[in-house]
Structure 1
Amino acid sequence: MVEIIGNRDEAEAIDAVLANWAAALGNKDAAGVVGHFSDDIVSFTLAAPLAHKGKGEKGLESWFSTWDGPIGGDAVDVRLVVGGDIAFWTGLVHMTGRKTDSVEVDLWFRQTLGLRKEAGVWKIVHEHTSVPFAMDGSGRAELGLKP
Structure 2
Amino acid sequence: MKSPQDFFTIYKQSAWDKDTESMIALYHTDVVIFDMWTQGYQTGLAEWSTVIKDWLGSLGDEKVNVIFDMIEIHEGNDVGFGSALITYQAISINNVIVRSMRNRITLGFIKQENEWKVVHQHTSSPINADLQAILDF
**What TM-score do you get using the length of structure 2 for normalisation?**
0.84
Q: Structure 1: which 5+ residue stretches go unaligned?
A: 1-9
Q: Structure 2: which 5+ residue stretches go unaligned?
A: none
Structure 1 residue 141 and structure 2 residue 117: aligned? no
Q: Match of 1:5?
A: none
Is contact 2:125-2:134 (8 Å) kept? yes
Structure 1 residue 61 and structure 2 residue 53: aligned? yes
Structure 1 residue 77 and structure 2 residue 70: aligned? yes
Cα shift at 1:17: 4.3
Structure 1 residue 127 and structure 2 residue 117: aligned? no
**What TM-score do you get using the length of structure 1 for normalisation?**
0.79
Identical pairs, percent: 21
Q: How many residues align?
A: 132
Question: What whole-Å deviation, never above 9, does each CA across 1:37-61 have from its counterpart, x for those lacking one?
Answer: 1000001112121311112222222
Larger radius of gyration: 1
Indicate the RMSD between aligned Cα atoms, in angstroms. 2.4
Q: Match of 1:34?
A: 24
Cα shift at 1:105: 2.0
Q: Match of 2:42?
A: 52
The letter of the residue matching 1:54 is G
Distance (Å, rounded) in 2 between the aligned partners of 1:22 and 1:88: 18
